[in-house]
Amino acid sequence: MPKKSYIEKYRSQLAFTLIEVSIVMVIIGLVVGAVVVGRDMITTAAIRATITQIQGYNAAVRQFEEKYRYLPGDISASAVQKFGFSVVPVRAGTIGQGNGNGLIENYLYVAATSYVSCCISGENAWFWEDLSANSGLIEDNFNTAGAFSIPFTSERTTIKIEHIIPRSKLKKGVYVSVYSTPQAKNYLSLLAFGTAGALDGNGAIRNNSVMLTVNEAYSIDAKMDDGLPQSGLVIAKYQQWDIASAAVGGSGPAGNYGLVWASGGNVQGAIDTSATPSSSITCFDNNNVAAAVQKYSIAKNPNSANCALSFELNLQ
């Protein structure tokens, strides 16, 4: 038998055996699995923290109402002085400016019956100041809401959104807001807001995007409520075009930007019974079957950031 050349011996030494290849594949599989599991654990922990955060705010509002007989942000000017709270700005006692009507409103677009949650201005800014700096019921210390006075003041252009409302525990870019609806209900909301460039002509911060994935929205809803996007205490909102203003996110009068609860109409809280097919931009759908129950679009686009969530303030 002829001897192998040096080159042939060298090549044979470089080759991998099936056992070696198998070991490498197992190691790669373990690493990938660990990364996926780790990512899922982080997401699960963030969802749990967010639920705890929302429940904590709801409890704080109940405590505030029991102690002061008003909802935070909705306090009249005389009561603010009586309680020793910040009186900057002076609360005018009108809609969105401390009228004590039990609704946490902004002072813009209050007349639009289908659109009252677009902006941070007035009561829904003072809400967080009353819960934190004025009463100490939450750990944050929001004390710059006074710059959101009426009329417009230049301070608004220098204030960041995180100085007015809290960041969510879910992920970067998502905040917790508060608003009321024409159905006379108050909601906390998880959604993304615009940057300084989204300040409108009156200086209010306007929400113009969503950042919850369908999976995140479903997981939170399922753990806190019924897991359905249009019923219960947790309601899904999602982004759509405002035909009147031809702007993404619009849901009311021309020029307004926001999020709606139902593709079948602008009225917040309306149940959408139309045939809604699942697509890459839906938060929920009913598999294109009219009158069927809408469900989160987790089969089509679980990781698409198409959702925002609203949590009814339960003061019972």
pLDDT tens digit string along 244-283?
333 333 333 333 344 455 443 444 556 778 888 888 888 8
Pair of tokens at residue 221? 């809803």
Is residue 88 a contact partner of residue 129, using CB atoms and an 8 Å limit? Answer: no
pLDDT value at residue 30: 76
Helix 18-68, helix 123-131: angle, nearest 10: 90
Mean pLDDT estimate for the chain: 76
Query: Which spans in 84-147 are helix H?
Result: 123-131
CA 144 to chain centre: 21
Alpha-carbon distances of 198 from 117, 170, 185, rounded to whole Å: 15, 22, 26
pLDDT value at residue 255: 39
Domain count, the chain: 1
Is residue 83 a contact partner of residue 76, using CB atoms and an 8 Å limit? Answer: no
pLDDT value at residue 242: 39
Residue position matching structure tokens 């024409």: 182
Domain contains 1: no
Domain contains 290: yes
Write the DSSP symbol of residue 294.
Answer: P
Q: How do residues 93-104 score in pLDDT, each as one tens digit? A: 887 888 899 999
Q: How do residues 54-88 score in pLDDT, each as one tens digit? A: 999 999 999 999 999 999 999 988 888 889 887 76
Tell me the pairing of strands 175-180 and 186-191: antiparallel
pLDDT value at residue 265: 40
Q: How do residues 108-165 score in pLDDT, each as one tens digit? A: 655 444 444 566 778 888 899 999 999 999 998 888 765 555 444 444 556 677 888 8
Task: List the beta bridge partners of residue 285.
Answer: 295
Domain contains 2: no
Domain that holds residue 121: 7-312
Task: List the beta bridge partners of residue 122.
Answer: 106
Domain contains 99: yes
Count of CB atoms situated within 10 Å of the CB of 97: 24
